[in-house]
Amino acid sequence: MENKWGIDLEREHNCQCPRCARKGRDRSKNNLRVYGGDLGAHCWACQWTIPSAAHREAMGWDENDEDDEEEYVSTREKITPEENEKIKSYTSTDGKGYRGISTATNNFFGVRYEYDQETGEPIRQYVPTTVGGELSGYRTRRFPKDFSGPIGQVGKECDMVFQFRFKTHTGTCIISGGETKALATYQMLYENQKQRGKLEYETTAVVCSTLGESGAHKQVQAQYEFFSQFKKIIICMDEDEAGQAAVEQLVKVLPKGKAWIMRMRFKDADDYVKAGKQQEFIQDFLKAKKYVPHGVTASTDIQEQMREYLSMPRITLPKYLHKLQAKLRGGLPNCIFNILSASGTGKSTHVDAIILHWIMNEDRKVGIIPMETSAGEYGVNLLSSYAEVKINLFETVEQRLEFVDSEDSLRLQQELFMDADGNPRFYILDAEAETLQERVEYMIVSLGCRIIAIDPLQDVFDMLGEDEQARFMGWMKGWMKKGVLFANVNHARKNGSGAKANSKGAELSEEDMMGSSTIFKSGGVNLIMMRNKDAESEEERNTTIMKLSKARGVGDTGMVGKYYYEMEKHKLWDLDDWNAQRTHTF
């Protein structure tokens, strides 16, 4: 399209700005952004604007008249009184009901509108900007979405939009997500105050940024003194990703203790006006909550979290541990679960039985880190428990492989290793201590594991100092709060000289765990197992005594029974149940 500027306004592109060129600038020839479809153009360097075809037609401008561009005020410098008067000559504060904003509201804030000469409808909005409370320019917007450049100073050096109306204020201020949203917010709050006959009190201040939501925090930071005068500052950003990201930035730069967060049932404030839901906006305004830093919960917000905590299902235990499950009032809470026993006393057999139960009965994927066994060996141990046949008791390789490859065994392996949809029931991790945290996080995040078992934890901690061990437990607690249960198998320290050996059934306490005291202190449930593996009696030799030394939340600790290991079947029993079933065997 030929015109006095020699610019193709139909095609979207960047080109040289004529005004910059006249002053010897824009040698790269890309300052002017042309929006295509004759929607106009704008230079980001000198702020010169070519109005859209619709605007030129509405104003009755001839595109070949060299004087036309002077009719349209376009400057990057602070607007002059003469330029402001020129704008006033072709604008008014009557928005003709645009977005439901009244003329009174526009008058109060000095918001003006330009009109189509044929229809009389508003085609452009002018929102005043100020520096130090004095008019500096206008942020403009063509309807519905045509580009329209700013006029005068409208950048980060400016006050907040509408700040000039609230130079001295001691009450509440709302930071809105945009100009029209701010107008709607003020209007709804003012009308509500008027209806209640409370206009003798200060009206709620409403401002927004000239930099949009994403840059609002920079301007708020520069206007710290202005915001310090308020008792309460309510952040009311759009209910979308960009708006909520802006909230996180704003709370960091506002005066401490004054920030409140308002959540809206609609996307933004003017949606309430358009929908005739002004009272709903007032309700949401009154429900604004004081901002507290991440990780801090106000007592007014705790009730729903209490319900969530109490509604969390307990993690059940194998049938043979019914006494322990009863003592825990239904099973394990989401916690760090520490199991302590002396080396070689069979704790891994109990842990394998517990993990087998979780794999087959809990709706949580299990990640297993067997530090002392390979994946193959661990698989054999789990299959032995599931098949109730201790595979390692077969004397020859042929016998062992014959069992594993048998039809019944293959059926059991499919049940054990694969769920009904063909997905893995669990994952086994072989990792060094240096990379363990990273690999475990992969299992949690990417593989969906919600139970992590480490057997034994001391093989991880052997290379770590006390401080590093404490940090490791802190890392565990962080994931535990996100819904991951850690089951840690722990070795006991060696007994002192002259004391009964742990392997001979010495009574253990939490303090006997090898490593940092943060291990047992971090535990939500600590279970101690004791066995005399050198006892003369076979029954005593194969019986484990269990003691619950810690049960956070429940608090019911103490002895929780004796448990018998049936070697041939690689099966564990509650000793009372074992003796009862033997009594009834004929």
Cis-peptide, bond into residue 333, ω within 30° of zero: no
* pLDDT score, position 60: 56
Q: Is the pLDDT of residue 146 over 60?
A: no
Question: 576 vs 241, which has greater pLDDT?
Answer: 576
pLDDT bin (cut points 50, 70, 90) of residue 75 is low
Q: Convert the pLDDT of each residue in 374-408 to its tens digit.
A: 999 999 999 999 999 999 999 999 999 999 999 99
Q: Convert the pLDDT of each residue in 189-237 to its tens digit.
A: 999 999 999 988 889 999 999 988 888 999 999 999 999 999 999 999 9
Are both 398 and 412 inside the same structural domain?
A: yes
Beta strands in 181-258 (DSSP E): 205-207, 232-236
Q: Is the pLDDT of residue 59 over 60?
A: no
Domain holding 462, by residue range, is 330-583
Residue 318, domain member (yes or no): no
Q: Convert the pLDDT of each residue in 299-316 to its tens digit.
A: 877 888 888 888 889 999
pTM: 0.57
Are both 210 and 285 inside the same structural domain?
A: yes
Mean pLDDT, the chain, integer: 88
Are both 26 and 123 inside the same structural domain?
A: no
**At residue 539, what are phi and psi to the nearest 5 degrees?**
-65, -45
Residue 38, domain member (yes or no): yes
* pLDDT score, position 47: 67
Are both 201 and 231 inside the same structural domain?
A: yes
Residue 300, domain member (yes or no): no
Q: Is the pLDDT of residue 366 over 70?
A: yes
Count of structural domains within the chain: 3
Residue 307, domain member (yes or no): no
Nearest CA to 331 among 353, 360, 362?
362
Are both 186 and 120 inside the same structural domain?
A: yes
**Alpha helix positions (H), 254-321:** 269-275, 278-286, 302-311
Residues 6+ apart with CB under 8 A from 138: 79, 87, 112, 126, 127, 128, 129, 150, 151, 152, 154
Question: Is residue 197 helix, strand or coil?
Answer: coil
Q: Is the pLDDT of residue 70 over 50?
A: no
Residue 296, domain member (yes or no): no
Are both 101 and 54 inside the same structural domain?
A: no
Decide if 490 contacts 462 (C-beta within 8 A).
no
pLDDT bin (cut points 50, 70, 90) of residue 69 is very low
Decide if 315 contacts 331 (C-beta within 8 A).
yes
* pLDDT score, position 388: 93
Query: Quick one: average pLDDT of 138-161?
Result: 82
Decide if 51 contacts 59 (C-beta within 8 A).
yes
Are both 467 and 578 inside the same structural domain?
A: yes
DSSP state of 334: S
Query: Quick one: average pLDDT of 23-27?
Result: 76
CATH number at 394 reads 3.40.50.300
Are both 282 and 403 inside the same structural domain?
A: no
Are both 1 and 124 inside the same structural domain?
A: no
Q: Is the pLDDT of residue 55 over 70?
A: no
User: Crossing angle of helices 436-445/466-480, nearest 10°?
Assistant: 0
Q: Convert the pLDDT of each residue in 445-482 to its tens digit.
A: 899 999 999 999 999 988 788 899 999 999 999 999 88
Residue 398, domain member (yes or no): yes
Q: Is the pLDDT of residue 418 over 90?
A: yes
Q: Is the dihedral of CA 183, 185, 188, 189 positive or negative?
A: negative
CATH number at 243 reads 3.40.1360.10
Decide if 442 contacts 365 (C-beta within 8 A).
no
Residue 308, domain member (yes or no): no
Are both 90 and 156 inside the same structural domain?
A: yes
Are both 211 and 266 inside the same structural domain?
A: yes
Residue 133, domain member (yes or no): yes
Are both 42 and 80 inside the same structural domain?
A: no
Identify the burial level of 182 via C-beta atoms within 10 angstroms of its C-beta, where 0-12 means exposed, 13-18 middle and 19 or more buried.
buried
Nearest CA to 332 among 484, 437, 197, 218?
484
